[in-house]
Structures are given as structure tokens and as C-alpha cells.
Chain A
């Protein structure tokens, strides 16, 4: 619909035409952005799904072996064995830019690099099952870290896609049609004005001729 607020002047027309062109270009760019984001998102979803299944399976196994360990040892002993972790984990985070979305990349560092150092207890009073459980846990942790990265990436991309999609739609279905109708309205109004001026001139000419020469057509 043409808004009543549009003033049918050439200046306004020129301005609107410029805006329409910008809107069209923005629309095209945003559409490309959306498509590329979507493509990346699809890959990430697939990866995320695989990883999640893997992590859930791995954790279930790890908990299972921990359960076995805790059924062999007394709960106090278990608690005591794990009370002071020898290992400590620190996380280094950098950001990667995917289509102007900053997604985190994690790199973790353990203070002890020796893999046998994950057991924070002496072997004398604990069962071998506990070692297995911790081993499982350490293995699944790698995947958990990756899962965290992928899942966060997925969430951030989802947000960006939603935003881009809305912008594309707003441009395509609101901005551009509105600009087009306004331009059409102004063009028609201008043509109409021109017509009426022409008609008025003809009429005046007739009247002038009539006055001067009593000229009849």
C-alpha cells in the first residue's frame, strides 16, 4: 500500500529509487549469507549428533565402571581416593569467525602431561576397577570437550541464522514491495500532474486565441 505520507516529488522519487537499490543489494547479500550459514549449520548438526551419541554412550559406560568400582570399595574409601585430584585442567579459549559469528575454540591443558598421572591415589587401597573407571572417564572427556565446542557453535549459528532469515524476509516481503509501490505511486502522480498541466496549457491557448482573433476551431 502506498502511504499517504509520501510526497510525490522528483526528489522523493530519486531518494526512494536509491533506497530500493540498496535494499535489493542488501537482500541479495543477506540471502547469500543465510545460505552459507545454513550449509555450515547442516555440517555442524550432523557432527553434533554423532558426538552426542558418542559422549552419552561413553559416559554411560564410564558411570557403569564407576558403579562397579564403588560397589567393590566402600563409599568412604572411594571419596577419599578421589578427594584430592592430582590433575588439574585449564582451558584455553580462542575464537573462530564463521561468517561473522564468533565461535569459541577450546584447547585444554592438563598440568600433568603424563597420562598415568590421572590416578590421584595410591594403588594399595583401591581396586583396579577404579583405575578402569577413571581411564574411561579420561577418554570420554576428550569427546565431551569437542561436544561443548560443537554445541556452542551450533547454538550461536542458530541464533545468527534466525536473525539473518528474519532480515531477509523483512526485506523481501515488506521493505522492497513497499518501496516499489511508493515509487509507482510517485511516478503515476507525476505523470498525472504533467498531463493536467498540458491540458491546462491547451485550454489557456484556446482561450487566448479566442480573445485575440475570435478564432474558432
Chain B
């Protein structure tokens, strides 16, 4: 049987608490440094490795370099999710960045 992978969530305490009930591995963090350390620990070759890591948007702004490191490898997928306060548009801008990277110009417009 193939090894199973895990799904992790990094975010503020209130954000992650709901995901815990779904059976995901949650990592409540208080600060950016903590988030960075957690993300690094999760991505650096843990044995039951994480295939998907959801990161709260307002943390992700400070984690760009860590996130970009994994952009081109098949695992893990680091996906931004809006936090409690609602979306701040970082997830959408990641989409735009990918389009710009592939095509060289932004086709989606600025909506």
C-alpha cells in the first residue's frame, strides 16, 4: 500500500480550531516567526509527510520566500486560505502571479 499523506493547517488559533474537528493536523501559531518555524518543520522531510499545507493569508505575506521554495516541486502544495477576517486577496494575487509567469503578461485584468 502506498504511504498516506497528511494535511496541515497553519493559522491563528481561531482559524485552525474549525479544521481540527475535520481531522486535519492543525498548528495554531501566535507570531510570524512561529509560523515560519512550523512551516519549515512540516516541509523538511517529515516521515508521514504533508502533501497539502493550508496557510492563513495574513501570515503568508511574511512567508513568501518559504512558500516560493515549494512552488515548483510536486509536493507539498501550499495553499493560502482566508483567515477569520475574510479574504485579503493574496490568494487571488498568487493566481495572477502564476499567469504572469507563464504568459509574461496578465491576461486576467485587474478585477
Contact = CB atoms under 8 A, between A and B. Distances in A.
Given A87-B23, A158-B101, A66 B17 contact: yes
Contacts of A63: 14-15, 18, 84
B74 A91 contact: no
B101 A148 contact: no
B61 interface: no
Main secondary structure of the interface of A (DSSP, over half): helix
A157 interface: yes
Contacts of A45: 95, 98-99, 108
Q: How large is the interface on B (under 10, 10 to 19, 20 to 34, 35 or more residues)?
A: 35 or more
Nearest to A41: B102
A89 B7 CA distance: 8
Interface in A129-157: 133-134, 137-138, 141, 144-145, 147-149, 151-152, 154-157
B19 A93 contact: no
Interface string B1-41: 01011110000001101111111100000000000000000
Q: How large is the interface on A (under 10, 10 to 19, 20 to 34, 35 or more residues)?
A: 35 or more
Interface of B: 2, 4-7, 14-15, 17-24, 51-52, 54, 71-72, 74-75, 77, 79, 81-82, 84, 86-87, 91-92, 94-95, 98-99, 101-104, 108
19 contacts: A38-B103, A45-B108, A82-B17, A82-B21, A87-B22, A90-B5, A92-B4, A104-B51, A106-B51, A141-B22, A144-B54, A144-B81, A151-B77, A152-B77, A155-B77, A158-B101, A159-B71, A159-B101, A165-B102
